[in-house]
Structure 1
Amino acid sequence: MYNNSLQQILELDGEARYDYFLDAVVEERDIWILVNADNQFLKIVAEEDGVAYLPVWPNSEFAEHYATGSEGLSPKAVSLPDFFRKWVSGLTRDGLEVGVFPGMDEELWITSPEELKQDLQELMSSAF
C-alpha cells in the first residue's frame, strides 16, 4: 500500500474508517490485531470511560503503522471464520468491545463483537 493512500485513509473520520474496514475485511477475509512476543493480543482501556476494547485493523500495514514506536508488538491475522466462531464469543464473555480501525484522530468506532459480526455478515450476504 502506498504511504500517501495509507495516510489519507488514516485521516478519515471514525465512521468512514469503519466503512472502509468492513469493505476491506469482507474482501480479504482477515481481521488484523496486534500481539506481543507471548502472542497475547493488545487490549486498550479507554481513560475517559474505562471501556476495554480490542483494536482491529483491515490489514497488516495499518496495524504495523499503529504499533510504530511500541516495542514488541506485531500484526497478526485472524481469519473471518475464526473471528466469528471463536473471537466473538470470547470477547463477549470477557466483556471486551471492539475498537474498529484506530486512526490519526481521537475518534474511534467502538462496537460490540456481535454487532461487528452482524455488520460483516450483512455486507458479505449483499456482496453475493
Structure 2
Amino acid sequence: MNSEELASVLEMDGEERYDYFLSEVLEEREIWILVNSESRFLSIVSEDDGVAHLPVWPSSEFAVEYAKGADGLTPKSISLPDFFKKWVPGLSKDGLQVGVFPGADKTLWITEADELKKDLQDELSSF
C-alpha cells in the first residue's frame, strides 16, 4: 500500500473505516494491535468519559502509521480465530471495549468486543 492509499483510507469517516476494517480483516483473517517492548498491548482511556478501549487496525501499515512518534510501540498480529476464542472473552471480562481503526481525525468506532465479533461473523457468513 502506498502512502496515498494509506492517507485516503485514513481520511474516511469512522463508519467508512469500520466497513473497510471488516472487509480487510475478513480478507486477511487477522487483526492488528500495538504492543510495547514488554509485549503489553496498548489500551487507551478516554479523557471525556473514562471508557477504556483496545485500538485495532486492519493491517500493520495502519498500526505503524498510528504509532509514529510513540517510542517502543510495534504492531502485532492476532489471528481471527485467536481473537474470537481468547481476546473477545478476555476483553469482555476486563471491561475493555474495542476502538476500531482510529483515523487521521482521531475519531474511531468504539464497540463491545462481542459486538465486533458478531459483525465479523455476520460478514463471514456472507463472504
| TM-score (normalised: structure 2) | 0.99
**Structure 2: unaligned runs, 5 residues or longer:** none
Cα distance in 2, alignment partners of residues 98 and 42 from structure 1: 11
Deviation at 1:106, TM superposition (A): 3.3
Q: How many residues align?
A: 127
User: What corresponds to 2:30 in structure 1?
Assistant: 30
Cα distance in 1, alignment partners of residues 33 and 51 from structure 2: 18
Deviation at 1:107, TM superposition (A): 2.0
SS in 1 for 2:48: coil
User: What corresponds to 1:14 in structure 2?
Assistant: 14
1:94-121 per-position Cα deviation (integer Å, ceiling 9, x unaligned): 0000000001113210000000000000
User: What corresponds to 2:45 in structure 1?
Assistant: 45
**Structure 1: unaligned runs, 5 residues or longer:** none
Cα distance in 1, alignment partners of residues 33 and 107 from structure 2: 19
Cα distance in 2, alignment partners of residues 36 and 54 from structure 1: 13
SS in 1 for 2:69: coil
SS in 2 for 1:34: strand
Q: Calculate the aligned-residue CA RMSD, in Å.
A: 0.5
Show structure 1 runs of 4+ deviating over 4 A: none
Cα distance in 1, alignment partners of residues 106 and 4 from structure 2: 20
